[in-house]
Amino acid sequence: MAGSTVRFESRTEIRRPVGVVFERLADLPGYGRWMHRTGLFRRCDVTSADPVGKGTAYVDATRMGTFQGEVTEFVAPSRIAFRETLQWSGTPMMQARPEFSLEGDEEATVVHHVAVGELFGWMRVMKPAAALMAKVERTRTLSSLKRSLESE
């Protein structure tokens, strides 16, 4: 749908080994231990069998509602990507596709984060607000990830 896409892109350096950063991103139920609670995030629960990998299903509970998600890429320790959809009363309202590419060594990791969102139906009129919200939330996610890993 033309005009319904929101995109966010950022990079950050984390002074921790690339494998450790990847493990933190892949530990979906563990997000509740490091994500700031001041934003939309509430909790994340895996709904399919362990271990987490490509195809793992999960739910991401937020202040907006519960997103049904799936891990779409899982290449340890360099790449992990997700696709999650928010539905209200059975109607898709939004789909988010966050992905993380990691480059690093035993000293530090550069995290390249891209998040693309699609708005559906009447939610398309919310694009300016959704773009701002995506920027704030994705920035909060990266800062929470960095803080949690560098404070250990």
Domain boundaries, the chain: 5-150
**pLDDT grade for 1, boundaries at 50, 70 and 90:** very low
Please state, in angstroms and rounded to a whole number, the distance separating the CA atoms of residues 90 and 43: 21
Give 75's contacts (C-beta < 8 A, 6+ positions apart).
none
For 11, the token pair is 């990079």
For the segment 140-152, the average pLDDT, to the nearest whole number, is: 95
Q: What is the pLDDT of residues 75-132, one digit of tens each?
A: 999 999 999 999 999 999 999 999 999 999 999 999 999 999 999 999 999 999 999 9
Q: Which CATH superfamily is domain 5-150 in?
A: START domain (3.30.530.20)
The total number of residues written for the chain in this structure: 152
Residue 115, Cβ neighbours under 10 Å: how many? 21
Q: What is the pTM of this model?
A: 0.93
Give the model's pLDDT for residue 139. Answer: 94
Residue type, 60: D
Q: Is pLDDT above 90 for 38?
A: no
